[in-house]
Amino acid sequence: MGDKSPHDNHHSKKSAKSIKEKRAERKAKEQMTESQMARLTAERKSRS
């Protein structure tokens, strides 16, 4: 077996652009889920 752990493969160098893009995607996804959560809670309140 090699000395490297399988996790070392995930830490290959990434360009700054790809990191920024991923960060932007994550933020967009978080905002989307927050609005979905707000919509769900609003629906629950209107039903009861």
Separation of alpha carbons 41 and 28, rounded Å: 20
Q: Is 8 exposed, middle or buried (0-12, 13-18, 19+ CB in 10 A)?
A: exposed
Separation of alpha carbons 31 and 22, rounded Å: 14
pLDDT digits (tens, 9 = 90+) for 7-48: 666 556 666 778 888 899 999 888 878 788 788 888 888 876
Higher pLDDT, 28 or 5: 28
pTM of model > 0.75: no
